[in-house]
Amino acid sequence: MTSAVSLGPDTRANDYHAWPDARGRFGEYGGRYVPETLMPLVLELGEAYAAAKADPVFQAEVAECLRTYVGRPSPLHLATRLSEHLGGGRVYFKREDLNHTGAHKINNCVGQILLARRMGKTRIIAETGAGQHGVATATVCALFGLPCVVYMGAVDVERQAPNVLRMELLGAEVRPVTSGSATLKDAMNEALRDWVANVEDTYYLIGSAAGPHPYPAMVRDFQTVIGTEARAQVLEAEGRLPNAIVACVGGGSNAIGLFHPFLDDEAVKIYGVEASGEGMQGRHAAALNGGRPGVLHGNRTYLLQDKDGQITEAHSISAGLDYPGIGPEHAWLHDVGRVSYLTATDAEALTAFRLCSRLEGIIPALESAHALARLPEIVQAAGPSGVVVLNMSGRGDKDLAAVAAMGDQAR
Amino acid sequence: MSGRIEARFAQLRGEGRAGFVAYVMAGDPDFERSKEILLGLPAAGADVIELGIPFSDPMADGPAIQRGALRALAAGTNLQRIFDLLREFRRQDAATPVVLMGYLNPLLSMGYREFARAAADAGADGVIMVDCPPEEADPLADALDAQGLALIRLATPTTDAARLAVVARRTRGFVYYVSVAGVTGGKAVDAVAVAPQVERVRAASGLPVAVGFGIRTPQQAAAVAKVADAAVVGSALVDAVAGALEAGEDPAAAVRRTASDLAAAVRTSRREAVHG
């Protein structure tokens, strides 16, 4: 898109921080496509979040919890052996895998649980794919003594069994969802059905930078701690900004968290990596590379759908990327060209998973392994003295069974 | 503009009774049997028909309508086939209003203008979009207005007075009052609690109010018919299809039976109220 109109509500070019607009739009994407029953709740949430965001006491509360409970700031690790292996340059990992609960998801959960308390909500529901968001939600619910119901696709319950046990140990009730494809999108449908039926007391804690406004903006805001820290850390380590930053994208919360503080740094190339599963000709989960705009789960964004507008099933070896949509801000960043969205297949992710484990002593989440898989090209483009920051969004312990089941492919 | 919705509610007012609105899923369980179900509804006593557009991710629907949508999609139902179905219906019935009900994405995929043109051409009278609140509705409302189709809005227990004004804007035909906070086929309606809500919506919109989402039995339908301009039943009819399929029976006959019982209860409810 070349028209200035698409660049920002105040027509200042490159003002990436002006979005979303008052209607919850990022360009043509986002919005509030929810049933009327939920509309007053979504509007109330928007107001409550705006007030909290402007309240220094709330912000201090979030920051303190991130510091003492999550363990922030997370370190920026120079991946020396991997950099050498890739033929030069310096690759840094932003170590979100070292957060309490082992992924970036907790950043957003801390923010939203404090908001839910502030709003006087007494029951928390969530959806989860890989189980990382479910674990993070169950964790903060245990921390604050709130009952928690997590909807999880039956397929994911099976392939992410350790996280199911974790959630149950934390006192959450995990409800397997068997409708549709029994994965993340169906878990989200079921969570929305729960919310519609329990409007009085329930707070829906969405884990992706998706859903109706204000969720995409709110989840992004709570995740930008990743990019804000990474930007300061790389400036301190290198004395300059990186040439490129990269993150995997499913719904896209870890990616938008890393990207957002770098959007105005025009010299920094930004890459998102979608899961292309069996390859773009086969089953995949690449909404931007293989989908078209539509409306699902409260927002307008790129979706995997058939010619009749029915949502098609996504596929990825990584449960956290196995979603037919993507956050609306990514849809917009794709259209305006600020972020390049690449893809990595199941097989490429597995190769990168193994490589990272052996070269850096870090077993990455299969989600993060998709970003790792595109490093060779990104590092090459950055040149021999290039600096690249990759978001290590989570740890891979939860994926060991799935990787073992792939047999020789993974070794 | 067909005027069928307005004519039907005027007729109901004249008869001093509430209407029975029957929801069935288009293409469930397949085109031919869905056609038979649809054609049988007016004779069974349906005053208005809501024809469900199946969607893969029906987030406001309970298990009955979810399963109905899956059956319809498995049989190859899409908007073109639904328009074919509607054309077949209109060949036999020119008076019963038909309102298409579903989710936005299939319409977006076709394009609002093309959808509105084809829907009007096939004989539809209105559209209810569950996931399209007034704030997002203008482009769709423009397309429907151009073809004389009514965009029927939903009001719910969570819609307060200020929002009711927003909901009532640009709506036509009737307002659909969702009687319970929940999905279709879930909680049971409380007709006593609904009565003042119906009054509120009627006053704000100046339109007839149809009540749905928690009505399964003739008793519930009758109770709602005492206070509302129409009672909507969906899940019970879609369940009748499922039950017949399971038992190896004729789905059209099962829907006719269920619809007749519900229609009779709606038709006689105010009379019973007068006589005792």
DSSP string of A341-396, one letter each residue: EEEEEHHHHHHHHHHHHHHHS--B-HHHHHHHHTHHHHHHHH-TT-EEEEEE-BBS
CB contact under 8 A, A305 and B109: yes
CB contact under 8 A, B58 and A189: yes
What is the three-class DSSP state of B184? strand
Give the C-alpha separation, A223 to A234, whole Å.
Answer: 18
pTM of the model: 0.95
pLDDT digits (tens, 9 = 90+) for B65-120: 999 999 999 999 999 999 999 999 999 999 999 999 999 999 999 999 999 999 99
B158 reaches A (C-beta below 8 A): yes
Quick one: pLDDT at residue A10?
A: 46
- Mind listing the domains of chain B with CATH numbers? 3-266 (3.20.20.70)
As for the ipTM of the complex, it is 0.95
CB contact under 8 A, B135 and A197: no
Rounded to the nearest 10°, the torsion over CA B267, B272, B274, B276 is 180
What is the three-class DSSP state of A328? helix
A312 contact residues in B (CB cutoff 8 A): 56
In chain A, % of residues over pLDDT 90: 86
A197 contact residues in B (CB cutoff 8 A): 181-183, 186-187
pLDDT digits (tens, 9 = 90+) for A45-104: 999 999 999 999 999 999 999 999 999 999 999 999 999 999 989 999 999 999 999 999
Q: Is A6 a catalytic residue?
A: no
Quick one: pLDDT at residue A2?
A: 39
What is the three-class DSSP state of B189? coil
- Going from the C-alpha of A298 to that of each of A38, B57, B104, B132, the distances in angstroms are 10, 12, 10, 9
Lowest mean pLDDT among A118-127, B126-135, B264-273: B264-273
What is the three-class DSSP state of B248? coil
B198 reaches A (C-beta below 8 A): no
- Going from the C-alpha of A270 to that of each of A12, A243, A346, A368, A398, the distances in angstroms are 21, 9, 22, 15, 28
**Cross-chain CB nearest to A36 (options B66, B103, B133):** B133
Give the C-alpha separation, A202 to B36, whole Å.
Answer: 43
- Going from the C-alpha of A2 to that of each of A17, A156, A269, A331, the distances in angstroms are 19, 41, 19, 15
Q: In the numeric block, which tokens belong to residue A8?
A: 């920002």
Q: In the numeric block, which tokens belong to residue B244?
A: 């017949």
B104 contact residues in A (CB cutoff 8 A): 33, 295
Task: Sort A283 into a burial class: Cβ within 10 Å, 0-12 / 13-18 / 19+.
Answer: middle
Quick one: pLDDT at residue A205?
A: 98
Chain A residues bordering chain B (beta-carbon distance below 8 Å): 23, 31-41, 179-180, 185-186, 189, 192-193, 196-199, 293-298, 303, 305, 307-312
Give the C-alpha separation, A48 to A62, whole Å.
Answer: 15
Say if residues A175 and A147 touch (Cβ distance below 8 Å).
Answer: no
What average pLDDT does the segment B55-68 reach? 95
What average pLDDT does the segment A327-340 reach? 98
Distance from CA of B273 to the nearest CA of A (A): 31
What is the three-class DSSP state of B51? strand
**Cross-chain CB nearest to B183 (options A31, A185, A193):** A193
Quick one: pLDDT at residue A14?
A: 58
CB contact under 8 A, B105 and A311: yes
Q: Which strands make up the sheet holding B150-151, listed edge to edge?
A: B150-151, B126-129, B98-102, B48-52, B19-25, B230-233, B209-212, B175-178, B154-155
Question: E strand or H helix at A286, and its extent?
Answer: none
Quick one: pLDDT at residue A366?
A: 96
Give the closest residue to A287 by CA, choosing from A219, A209, A228, A215. Answer: A209
Quick one: pLDDT at residue A389?
A: 98
- pLDDT surpasses 60 at B32: yes
The residue of chain B nearest to residue A182, with distances taken between CA atoms, is: B57
Quick one: pLDDT at residue B273?
A: 53
3-state SS of A241-277 is: CCCEEEEECCCCHHHHHHHHHHCCCCCCEEEEEEEEE
B181 contact residues in A (CB cutoff 8 A): 37, 196-199
Task: Sort A354 into a burial class: Cβ within 10 Å, 0-12 / 13-18 / 19+.
Answer: middle
B26 reaches A (C-beta below 8 A): no
- pLDDT surpasses 90 at A401: no
Give the C-alpha separation, A147 to A129, whole Å.
Answer: 20
The number of helices, as runs of H, and strands, as runs of E, in chain B is 12, 9
- pLDDT surpasses 80 at A411: no
The average confidence (pLDDT) of chain B is 95
The residue of chain B nearest to residue A299, with distances taken between CA atoms, is: B131
